[in-house]
A and B are shown apart, each in its own frame.
Chain A
């Protein structure tokens, strides 16, 4: 007998003559307290994310690459990791080409194994998109794929994320339903709600535990 059949067998024996409990999931419990008028969503997201040391800026769909450049310059950073196969990646690259000395643009265009050491130690900042935001908890939803790999939002000390104002939803349940997550989960789906942190020593909050020390959210006013 395999472990599998033994375990399942014991569980089934224990459930003999019982009925499964009905599914009484009440969505109002997870949506009711977490609803906001559209104009309040960004405000709430901002206040929650600022409370965990996230920097947020309102930008336009034209101006944001310049903002990225300014953020890097203000910090004196030498390079930026970006996703060349995405729309925002192309827009960023176009801005970068237009004259002036800028930090080096690094394209995540080959497997991690090909440049692991650089990714872990040399990259100073990254720019990624998001597929939405959650007002209730102050979270970004990231859906990494072959164009924008997972480590981009994890390895660099500074992570800059683009968030469309129109894609901020009230709560996790709403965004999950609206985007139909359960029908097609990607390899990796992430909620990111601030820079990496820990309170493991004396419960003192310290940022930059293993992931980004800084998270900057650029909110695109597209509505």
Chain B
């Protein structure tokens, strides 16, 4: 397992990957079934609408308050953690974060890393970076373990292997681990348990993410159901936590509503099996726990998003995944179609700040703006509004100075000219009436195959008389008028 894990090559556009995904019946069934179930669980977990809305409002306020004091809170967090014996590191880029993590491991001559679930480490592509330097980095969340074993990336931020069914996992375990095939999910999990337990015992470093970093007390809070997070942060002699700078909250009590929102929105659970609050390394007289604890605070474009008051709201995200669970697009195409670490609606609005909008120019358009994501977001990120904003940034000309990193990638003189024509049409009553006149008379002569619309629809046929005509005739007659 020490060789670099090959990431499956993917066609290089959203539409291309979407077409592949849509043609895969198994994949579509896997996602539809899973998303339906997750939506139901969330709905059941919030039986009281007023309670839910009050909590969402509070969640939003807590995150907005934390962001409004972000630099101060980061300093306070660093100070408290340092007092508690945790070493804090800062990284502007993923490259820098990887260098820091590597140096920490080197200093301890570590060679085996076991990882709890961490999306930030996915952002960093830490596994590959360390593997290239001879350090094995093994995922220990069951879902992450499965996708790593198959040389894939997670397709969902909290359910990494949601795209696979039990037969596919069984075959994978059979091929890679040499165990007998089985349809029994319990047996499959026990295979993972046995394999990974050895790794937990042998690892010299545990890496984890952070759900909430509490400035008041210098505490890293992690939620999980499996116990792999606790294993990774307790069993090896060293623990390295990596997190984005937006995860800091002011007070310990602030996590009460956020925790409730997170676990209920994500999985419909009142709470996860484990809530693990870490406030320091093993004390001198303690018998277990890591001797060293490090926290790496990563920027990777977050300060860029922060600089824009509207896009700053993307930093409210607590990574629950509810937006993808409720997204009709995500449900149909799955997480890999997005081609980036963070899929789904939240991925579309956070990724541009990390990699630049020019790398993901189709993402903002891959939404019907139905609003389901914004409706369920536990911290009330107005996702559709931010998608809309990205669409604007996407089509700005250089002279209009796009404000989001990589903006303007979709600027096209031709398309702009079409919209200018549309403006002329819709702002000149004479021109508009002329258009209606033409369309109602000759519209039915239009070709039956015209552009992408007719891929899915019969060609639309304009009426013989427009409402302008019908209304004028009707109102002039005055029959129905009171």
Complex A–B touching at CB under 8 A: yes
Chain A residues packing against B (C-beta within 8 Å): 2-4, 6-8, 10-15, 18-27, 29-30, 33, 48, 52, 108-113, 116-117, 120-121, 136-139, 145-146, 149-151, 154, 171-173, 176-177, 181-182, 185-204, 206, 208-212
Contacts of A24 in B (CB 8 A): 61, 65
Report the separation of the CA atoms of residues A33 and B271 in the bound assembly, to the nearest whole angstrom. 15
Check A195/B273 contact, CB under 8 A, given A33-B51, A188-B278: yes
- Our pick among B58, B169, B237 for the contact of A26 (Cβ within 8 Å) is B58
Query: B27-41 toward A: CB 8 Å interface, digit per residue (1/0)?
Result: 000100110011000
CB-CB nearest in chain A for B156: A200
B306 touches A10 (CB 8 A): yes
- Our pick among B185, B227, B259 for the contact of A196 (Cβ within 8 Å) is B227
Chain B residues packing against A (C-beta within 8 Å): 30, 33-34, 37-38, 48, 51, 54-55, 58, 61-62, 64-65, 68-71, 74-75, 90-92, 96, 140-143, 146, 159-162, 164-166, 169, 185-186, 188-190, 192-193, 196-197, 200-201, 216-219, 225-228, 230-231, 234-235, 237, 245, 250-254, 256-257, 259-260, 267, 270-283, 285-289, 297, 299, 303, 306-307, 312
A210 touches B226 (CB 8 A): yes
Report the separation of the CA atoms of residues A99 and B188 in the bound assembly, to the nearest whole angstrom. 42
Q: Beyond A136-B270, A154-B231, A185-B252: 12 further Cβ-contacts under 8 Å?
A: A8-B75, A21-B65, A150-B230, A150-B234, A154-B227, A172-B256, A176-B256, A187-B286, A188-B234, A188-B278, A192-B274, A201-B142
Check A188/B279 contact, CB under 8 A, given A198-B189, A200-B161, A203-B159: yes
A201 touches B227 (CB 8 A): no
Contacts of B218 in A (CB 8 A): 185
Check A206/B189 contact, CB under 8 A, given A18-B68, A196-B225: yes
CB contacts between A and B, total, < 8 Å: 255
- Our pick among A186, A197, A206 for the contact of B273 (Cβ within 8 Å) is A197
B62 touches A25 (CB 8 A): yes
The 5 closest A-B pairs by CB, nearest first: A211-B227, A200-B143, A209-B226, A191-B275, A210-B227
The winner among A109, A139, A187 for most chain B CB atoms within 10 A is A187
B196 touches A210 (CB 8 A): yes
Report the separation of the CA atoms of residues A182 and B282 in the bound assembly, to the nearest whole angstrom. 19
A117 touches B189 (CB 8 A): no
Report the separation of the CA atoms of residues A208 and B188 in the bound assembly, to the nearest whole angstrom. 12
Nearest CB on A from B459, distance (A) = 42
Report the separation of the CA atoms of residues A181 and B142 in the bound assembly, to the nearest whole angstrom. 32
The winner among A48, A203, A210, A212 for most chain B CB atoms within 10 A is A210
A210 touches B71 (CB 8 A): no
Subset of 30 A-B contacts with CB under 8 Å: A3-B299, A7-B303, A8-B75, A12-B71, A14-B312, A24-B65, A25-B58, A25-B62, A33-B48, A52-B273, A110-B287, A120-B201, A149-B287, A154-B230, A187-B280, A187-B281, A188-B289, A189-B279, A191-B275, A193-B272, A196-B274, A200-B159, A200-B226, A201-B146, A201-B188, A204-B166, A206-B189, A209-B192, A209-B193, A211-B227
CB-CB nearest in chain A for B91: A3
CB-CB nearest in chain A for B192: A209
B193 touches A208 (CB 8 A): yes
- Our pick among B38, B96, B142 for the contact of A198 (Cβ within 8 Å) is B142
CB-CB nearest in chain A for B185: A204
Check A23/B65 contact, CB under 8 A, given A10-B307, A203-B34: yes
- Our pick among A25, A113, A201 for the contact of B185 (Cβ within 8 Å) is A201
Nearest CB on A from B306, distance (A) = 5
A154 touches B234 (CB 8 A): yes
Contacts of B237 in A (CB 8 A): 113
Nearest CB on A from B260, distance (A) = 7
Nearest CB on A from B472, distance (A) = 54
Contacts of A12 in B (CB 8 A): 71
B71 touches A198 (CB 8 A): no
Contacts of A194 in B (CB 8 A): 273
Report the separation of the CA atoms of residues A99 and B69 in the bound assembly, to the nearest whole angstrom. 63
CB-CB nearest in chain A for B223: A191
CB-CB nearest in chain A for B282: A187
Contacts of B185 in A (CB 8 A): 201-202, 204, 206
Report the separation of the CA atoms of residues A29 and B287 in the bound assembly, to the nearest whole angstrom. 39
CB-CB nearest in chain A for B37: A203
Contacts of A13 in B (CB 8 A): 307
Check A182/B71 contact, CB under 8 A, given A20-B65, A201-B164: no
Contacts of B54 in A (CB 8 A): 26, 29
A192 touches B68 (CB 8 A): no
- Our pick among A3, A52, A181 for the contact of B92 (Cβ within 8 Å) is A3
Report the separation of the CA atoms of residues A203 and B161 in the bound assembly, to the nearest whole angstrom. 10
CB-CB nearest in chain B for A206: B189
- Our pick among A108, A171, A173, A209 for the contact of B142 (Cβ within 8 Å) is A209
The winner among A199, A206, A208 for most chain B CB atoms within 10 A is A199
